[in-house]
A and B are shown apart, each in its own frame.
Chain A
């Protein structure tokens, strides 16, 4: 059974860097076609895909946020880390990680973590 869970700060100040960790189980992230993605959703707004890291370390980013995002993985720890620099109040959102499979897409999601950006 695949599970994922996000962790990180609930509150960050403007200009700070946000670091979120996705801890997963039920898969290894060493299988061809597999990956972990990050998605966010500001309050009352639509879903926005942020980044994806594949089993082979290939990284993909939302072009509108690419300069601020870094995604990394540690398969031995079963963790994927997302970093978003220069946080702004408009980055206030629920951030979720999800298991990706190239045939099914983002098929299993974590419960999400809410991040507020405020001074």
Chain B
């Protein structure tokens, strides 16, 4: 089965910083990669699908890139409301494996 490895597992950044999270698949998954944001006490919400397509209503400071095995989620100009844990997930075929998550805090 394809494993999804996210890094870093946590990071602390200042408001206004650009933040990048990476997700690596152990085998190629084309562009079938989604990014989720999970705020404390809430279920995840979809941010990006097909590796780089922003879900409706998601602020444009979020962007995604990559294909095959290597993917990135970038938050340009980090805002206080972006404090959350972010997950990647493959969905080209089952099992729909999640990455281990990246917790973002504000310095």
Contacts and interface: CB of A to CB of B under 8 A. Distances in A.
B87 A47 contact: yes
Interface residues of A, number: 25
Q: Is the interface of A mostly helix, strand, loop or mixed?
A: strand
B98 A107 contact: no
Contact of B49 (A47, A63, A104, A111): A104
Given A47-B101, A63-B1, A103-B49, A112 B43 contact: yes
B87 A109 contact: no
For the side of the interface on B, what is the size category? 20 to 34
B76 interface: no
B72 interface: no
A33 to B, nearest CB: 11
B89 A106 contact: yes
A45 B38 CA distance: 12
B37 to A, nearest CB: 12
Interface string A80-119: 0000000000000010100010111111111110000000
Contacts of B97: 49
B59 interface: no
Contacts of A102: 91
Interface string B70-87: 000000000000000001
